[in-house]
Amino acid sequence: MSAPKKTARRSLLVTTAVLSSLALTAPLSYAAPAPSPGGRPSGSPSGKSSGSPSSSPSGKPSGSPSGSPTATPPARMSSVGGERLGQAGTQVNLATGVPVLPKDLTARSWIVSDAESGQVLASHNAHWRLPPASTLKMLFADTVLPKFPKTDKHKVVPSDLAGIGAGSSMVGIKENETYTVHDLWLGVFLRSGNDAVHVLSQMNGGIDATVKEMNTHAEELQALDTQVISPDGYDAPGQVSSAYDLTLFARSGLQKKDFREYCSTVTAKFPGETTKVKKGKNKGRTTRGTFEIQNTNRLLSGDLDVSVYPGIAGVKNGNTTNAGATFTGVAERGGKVLLVTVMNPEKNEHNEVYKETAKLFDWGFKAVGKVQPVGELVPPKGSARASAQPGANDSGQAGGADTGGASSKPSAKPVSSATTGGGSGGMGIALAITGGVLVLIAGAAFLVNRRWPLPDLVRRRARP
């Protein structure tokens, strides 16, 4: 069966299933004790986001909370996505056939959701406003990535790199060197480079302008727990987000082809410094080498104590002193696509954030289709209008006509291929949605069930 037919069939099946589930009454949740405020990671600067804190950003919804994280979760938090998501503690519907959640989860906040239907399968303090670290770069990318074609070039000047915070993660951008936009985004996603974020922000009109746009975009996504102070997630007073909001950012970004490519790239070549050849027949000529960079998402690249997670396809990790370790991941298995966000595990062990994420993915793939949701991922404010327009497209190429809304014609070809290595390498993870009938089906599903379908994800190829 072709991919478009499978997608159409899945859309119809999900529409029917969700309509049927509306008549069901959800069981009561149970509340797990909130993690103690002690035991937070001391904070290696790895993954730390940078940028001088700007003035109080605009673009925030009126009446939003002050933006200061608390030592323990508030008794009542935001109810965006459902009343139960605003309750402290673990929210899950226990019933016959539903697997038990892992017992050794220590994260202050986490959420497991169906990326396509938007159903939240389970959560723990989903709306607790906490420092996000470099996972905030997902919002940065979703906001800025469509602005510049990937082939555009930019020569870095000293002011582009001003104000980068101490201890920031860097990809190694050098003054007076020229980089393509494609290079810069590889630096953002693979190395969590705050230098790359600063250069792109300066190209976008400066740090303050970018922060303002990010806050406005967060509001459009209904991510009302988020307050951006620094575009790269570097620790700054008042800068907060939540597991719920980070999941919204990932879900929105994954609608864009380039975002999917960058966040799933395992390794790539990055431009080095320009030097003069000192001897040989090319003596006196200039040459520019490259060096390899690897994705710091350990569920994608693997590590000594963490295996590559089957079906993983991104998205973004982070780590700062105030935030601890944070991570949002997307994975596909058996035709289901799940998003998991984990914020600040209390257990201070190497790669703990990835280990707890993997456990939640395992639970989610066993539970999906069996467990009644406890809430939903709300769509952006403008999605209802966009979904109702025939010809909606998921390509989302940077600098192209599509920025997550409608475009002229969907593509029937795979959006990218699965590769590692090379400057343009990237493991493709999506097939474009095709056909006018399919678009209408997806639009109808969204309008009835608040469904916001992702492009079909394909499983990662076996690694050698």
Write out the catalytic residue numbers: 134, 137, 192
C-alpha dist (Å) from residue 30 to 73, 80, 199, 458 = 16, 20, 46, 35
CA 262, CA 40: separation in Å to the nearest integer? Answer: 30
**What's at 60, amino acid-wise?**
K
**Nearest Cα to Cα of residue 315 among 354, 344, 346:** 354
* CB 131 within 8 Å of CB 320: yes
Which two three-digit tokens encode residue 331?
């994975």
* CB 120 within 8 Å of CB 371: no
CA 216, CA 404: separation in Å to the nearest integer? Answer: 15
Beta-bridged to residue 288, according to DSSP, are: 274
**Backbone dihedral angles phi then psi of residue 113, each to the nearest 5 degrees:** -140, 155
Which two three-digit tokens encode residue 344?
């600040």
Which residues touch 343 (CB under 8 Å, ≥6 apart)? 107, 108, 109, 110, 128, 130, 132, 242, 243, 246, 323, 324, 326
* CB 177 within 8 Å of CB 155: yes
**Residue 1 CA, distance from chain mean position:** 31
